[in-house]
Amino acid sequence: MVRLPGRSETRRSRPSGQPRAPQGPRKDTAGAKGGRPGVLRAAVTGRSVAGQVFLLQVVIVLLLVVSAVVAQVLQVQRDSTREALNRSLAVAQTFANAPGTAAALRAPDPTAILQPKAEAAREGSGVDFVVVMNTDGIRYTHPEPDRIGKKFVGTIAPAVAGGTVVEKIHGTIGELVQVVVPVKDAGGKVVGLVSSGITTEHVGGAADQQLPLLLAAAAAALALATGGTALVSRRLLRQTHGLGPYEMTRMYEHHDAVLHAVREGVLIVGGDGRLVLANDEAQRLLDLPEDAEQRHVLELGLDDDTAGLLASGRVATDEVHLVKDRLLAVNQRPTDLRGGPAGSVTTLRDSTELRALSGRAEVARERLNMLYDAGVGIGTSLDVARTAQELAELAVPRFADYVTVDLFDAVLNGEEPRPGTSLRRAACNGVRDDAPLYPVGERIRFVPTSPQARSLTTGQSVVEPVLREAPGWLAQDLEHTGKIVAHGIHSLITIPLRAGTLVLGVANFYRSEKPQPFDAEDLALAEELVARAAVSIDNARRYTREHSMAVTLQRSLLPRSLPEQGALEIAYRYLPAQAGVGGDWFDVLPLSGTRVAMVVGDVVGHGLHAAATMGRLRTAVHNFSSLDLPPDELLGLLDELVGRIDQDETPADGAAAVTGATCLYAVYDPVSRVCTVARAGHPPPALVHPDGRVEFPDVAAGPPLGLGGLPFETADLELEEGSRLVLYTDGLVEDRDRDIDEGLELLREALGRAPGASPEDTCRAVLDSLPNRPSDDVALIVASTRVLGADRVAEWQVPSDPVAVSEVRASVTRQLAEWDLDEMSFTTELILSELVTNAIRYGRGPIGVRLLRDRTLICEVSDRSTTSPHLRYAATTDEGGRGLFLVAQLAERWGTRYTHNGKIIWAEQPLP
């Protein structure tokens, strides 16, 4: 093989007429001739003599500048201290010797006289303070009035003796100089002291004015040093190129080693078309003979296109030439562009393997992008069908031309799948809409030989490269599969959707537009896509199951219908939360004496825990209301219950606290038209008067349930007949986009637009006025009040005498006759006889009897005693004890409720 030029011995033996191979020194010379930037780069490196001189000059200039700056700063500090001392001393002496200063010190209130003068002197002289004090150091003046009357901080003994005190201290405002001088009266006696001071930084400033001048001078000196160095370096660089002989030899050897080591072919062709240099890679790529150098390029056995390009010397950029079995990218540039010798330099790059690798890399990149998109694009919602559709939309057309997803019905309902081959199509997507595939929603039963059935049975993926040659797939439905093949669909991958040990369904990938059948690499990508989608589908399935359970639980806990009662005309609405299951609830509870209780509550949070807690609170309200407790006492018991729930659950399993629960409880009496309301952290009720006026009654809020420690307060609202009382949860008036005040105003406007409307119309108007669907669940009750007229109420006062029982019976008989209820006289007389007798015997007067005719006939006996009677079963030998037993047998319901001044025993009988 011919020895390559460029080595030292070859270079010495080359004839003088030959062009020199190495171009390194020639390039350096061009760089040196390039002007001032090349000179500066060589100089500032410090590797040449000129560079070293330049660095020395820079060091000298910097030392001079630093010395000047330090000297200037020290001089300024000394001058500042002297100036501060002189100014402070002048101000203090002037003020001490001013007319009236000594007299003011003997005045009853020296501060009133001296403070304005001291502040005027301070502002006029530019000092930081002027302080006048007595000989004990107690201040009479100070710029900050709160320090007047306090002890002066500093040395005053020499000044008390008649001297002057000058001292430098570090005060709250920084380094300062302060002076203390005596104030003497006409006899020369020291009657007070004056101190003045100023911080040294307030009398400085010379350094700030002179320092820029010094820096400008330093910059000018550096510029002159740089210019001088550049002039010296330019001549040196022209002669040595900035390098010594040893460095030039090393550079030449390195260039030669790199030239033959690179994986890119390099050819140098002279102006006469002869090959001057070819490195090892060029000889390998072009398969040149060993004596190729110094031969004409047309004689090297190359193809005509490549040889013509090398001989022409024209400019070429990434021209692709086929040389035998290689694709070579050729770049060519002439060498005489900057005054060099005639000829050209050509580089060769083998792109055969690069193109193949580039194609594979592009495919791999696209697949990685698809997997990334699958990670962020599949499972954006917790809906099973939507998640399946996202898989189909992602894969078309990037991977397949048609994609279908078939799931078990149980999966769509949130349950675990059951074994079988009957599925329902959950998603379908393709490049065209007219493909003869089963539509979404259709139930499909796959035959055992089909790829889908085999995939479900074995849990393994199945690839059918050519569908027209797959008898198992064709046997599914000969007519249907024939249409699919005729449509051009030719290849299939079926992959089971596996989530752990569960098989949720199958995903099918079809190709029609792309002629290549699916291969092993396509199967690996499809399995990865399906694996990610299966996890998201299973998550959606689990959420669907939990959501269904929570919804079922919530619906079972909310009232399905309202009980019959005559005091209120009620309409209600419940809007579930957009996401999850909320804890809002409501109820209507008939009470004794034709009264009705209404309650709304809210448990903060969503999910099963909120729904279960809501059920417990609703059950507790039912139980507590049966005791006929006032609203404030009922909320107190509910508060204790929530506190016990927190104590029992939180330490055990970390369950969420229920302190976020709120509640409003209202009891309406149609006889007195009084509604008693109490609330625990709940929004206030709205009241619509018969004339359409809307207000939010002032009801004390109280703390949310579970906090404990604070009592609840009640408010009594006297309502006109036809008034509408509106109870609601915070989801109606509060949202992420608006605060509660704005929501209450919107509610007020909605209620005001429908004066005289029925409760049903009011509910509709309120919900229609919402700007958008609330994110939280909403419970709404609208109750229109009714009044039990005086013609349906009868009352008597009974003296505490057993003889009065007969009079009560007679009065009751007459009243029942007026109401056309004569047939109820016997039982009613018997009930009232027993109740009144018990009140006379065991209670305290006055005793009252009241009859109420509503949906039932209600008998009430009241007294001032707080002792409640108890039903007991008398023995056969007992002479008494059977009264309440008879009452319980004759009445449909009976009970006791307590009032603020006693109790009421009541009994209800159904009307005939």
3-state per-residue secondary structure call for 268-314: EEECCCEEEEECHHHHHHHCCCCCCCCCEHHHCCCCHHHHHHHHHCC
Task: Note the pLDDT tens digit of each residue in 394-448.
Answer: 999 889 999 999 999 989 888 888 877 689 999 999 999 889 999 999 999 999 9
Residue 55 pLDDT level (bands cut at 50, 70, 90): confident
Segment 161-174 shows an average pLDDT of 80
Tell me: pLDDT of 163 over 90: no
Strands (E), 351-408: 402-407
Segment 177-184 shows an average pLDDT of 89
3-state secondary structure of 481: helix
**Diameter over CA atoms, the chain:** 157
- Taking the C-alpha atoms of residue 823 and residue 826, their distance in angstroms, rounded to an integer, is 7
What's the confidence (pLDDT) of residue 8?
36
- Taking the C-alpha atoms of residue 655 and residue 637, their distance in angstroms, rounded to an integer, is 22
- Taking the C-alpha atoms of residue 285 and residue 348, their distance in angstroms, rounded to an integer, is 8
Angstrom distances, CA of residue 581 to CA of 381, 510, 578:
16, 40, 8
Tell me: pLDDT of 904 over 50: yes
Residue 787 pLDDT level (bands cut at 50, 70, 90): very high
What order do you get walking across the sheet with 165-171 strand by strand? 129-133, 190-199, 174-184, 165-171
Percent of the chain surpassing pLDDT 90: 26
3-state secondary structure of 383: coil
Strands (E), 489-621: 491-499, 502-511, 568-575, 583-590, 596-603
Most confident listed range (74-78, 137-141, 683-687): 683-687
Most confident listed range (344-348, 493-497, 698-702): 493-497
**Lowest model confidence (mean pLDDT) among 213-222, 450-459, 580-589, 749-758:** 213-222
Task: Note the pLDDT tens digit of each residue in 81-91.
Answer: 777 788 888 88
Tell me: pLDDT of 659 over 60: no
**Lowest model confidence (mean pLDDT) among 172-176, 190-194, 315-319, 855-859:** 172-176
End-to-end CA distance of the chain: 129
What order do you get walking across the sheet with 596-603 strand by strand? 583-590, 596-603, 662-669, 674-680, 715-718
Element (H, E) at 543: helix 520-557
What's the confidence (pLDDT) of residue 49?
56
Residues 469-476: contacts with CB under 8 Å, at least 24 apart:
472/447, 473/449, 475/447, 475/449, 475/450, 476/446, 476/447, 476/450
Tell me: pLDDT of 782 over 90: yes
Segment 753-775 shows an average pLDDT of 84
What's the confidence (pLDDT) of residue 211?
65
Tell me: pLDDT of 667 over 90: yes
Length, in residues, of the chain: 912
Tell me: pLDDT of 365 over 70: yes
What's the confidence (pLDDT) of residue 30?
37
What's the confidence (pLDDT) of residue 577?
72
The verdict on pTM exceeding 0.85 is no
Segment 492-499 shows an average pLDDT of 94
SS3 content of the chain, % helix, strand, coil (to 5): 45, 25, 35
What's the confidence (pLDDT) of residue 54?
66
Which of 583, 575, 560, 602 is closest to 778 using CA atoms?
Answer: 575
Tell me: pLDDT of 50 over 70: no
Q: Which two tokens stand for residue 657?
A: 């606290």
Mention every residue, 6+ apart, whose C-beta is less than 8 A from residue 233.
Answer: 39, 40, 42, 43, 48, 50, 51, 54
Segment 20-48 shows an average pLDDT of 46
Residues 156-163: contacts with CB under 8 Å, at least 24 apart:
156/180, 156/193, 159/190, 159/193, 160/135, 160/190, 160/193, 161/190, 162/190
Q: Rg of the Cα trace of the chain?
A: 52
What's the confidence (pLDDT) of residue 51?
63
* Helices within 128-195 (DSSP H only): 157-160
Phi-psi region of 843 (alpha: psi -120 to 50; beta: other; left: phi over 0): beta
Segment 163-189 shows an average pLDDT of 83
What's the confidence (pLDDT) of residue 305?
86
Which of 579, 586, 647 is closest to 607 using CA atoms?
Answer: 579
Token pair 């010798």 is at which residue?
341
Query: Residue 184's CB: how many other CB atoms inside 10 A?
Result: 16
The chain-wide mean pLDDT, for the chain, equals 81
Task: Let me know if 67 is exposed, middle or buried by CB neighbors in 10 A (0-12, 13-18, 19+).
Answer: exposed
Segment 10-27 shows an average pLDDT of 38
Segment 509-534 shows an average pLDDT of 91
Token pair 């970390």 is at which residue?
654
Residue 643 pLDDT level (bands cut at 50, 70, 90): confident
- Taking the C-alpha atoms of residue 402 and residue 440, their distance in angstroms, rounded to an integer, is 13
- Taking the C-alpha atoms of residue 236 and residue 909, their distance in angstroms, rounded to an integer, is 127
Task: Note the pLDDT tens digit of each residue in 510-521.
Answer: 999 888 899 888
What's the confidence (pLDDT) of residue 65?
72
Query: Cβ distance 819 to 851 under 8 Å?
Result: no
Residue 652 pLDDT level (bands cut at 50, 70, 90): very low
Residue with the bigger pLDDT between 258 and 664: it is 664
Segment 645-673 shows an average pLDDT of 73
What's the confidence (pLDDT) of residue 53?
64
